[in-house]
Amino acid sequence: MFENCVAATAEIGATHFSGVIYSRHVKPAVRRPDSAVWEMAAEGLREVAEHAESLGVIIGLEPVNRYETYLINTAEQALKLVKMIGADNVGIHLDTYHMNIEEKSFSDAVRTAGDKLIHIHLCENDRGIPGTGLVDWEDLFSALGEIQYRGNAALESFVDITDNMNTWVWRQLAKDGDTLVSEGTSFIRSMQRKYRLA
């Protein structure tokens, strides 16, 4: 399945394919994953990475919160799986929404990912407009500046429920989508400039 996704990524001219690709998203679980689960994920993704490399595509593993996966919740766990896969074209995709739940420190997570960080979702703790909630943006961007991050980034916030994915947004988080994007990107760009990332 993921081989097809990687092929589609290359066909549209994109260079990165990332997300929750190491385990079923929102998989029901009653116990912690054992070593066999980790090995199975690494083995499967090693094959995907090999196929992706032949197409010039980089794979990214996104840690998400405990309610969405039982396998990778932190940058440290993502790095463990990256090392187990052992392919140069596999990296880490962080997301501040999930980091706010699972990490002890935004900056430590960024440093842990280090040069394996290939993508970051910039989201507020409630998925609303960045800069209006509890995410420690100074801590995050200072670490991004420290590692001289030059990879991809995306604003991932929501103002409505969609019919093709679970956004779990039950209240209005911004006046509308345009307001969320304009105010969110303005804030993010100001942080990029402050930490010399733009």
Q: How is residue 75 written in tokens?
A: 């940058």
Cβ neighbors of 123 (< 8 A, separation 6 or more) are 95, 96, 97, 130, 135, 155, 156, 157
Catalytic residue among 62, 68, 103, 124: 62
Closest by CA position to 123, among listed 191, 188, 26: 188
- Which residues face 127 on adjacent strands? none
Active site residue 62: yes
Catalytic residue among 76, 102, 156, 183: 156
Active site residue 68: no
For residue 120, the surrounding DSSP H or E stretch is: strand 117-122
Catalytic residues: 62, 156
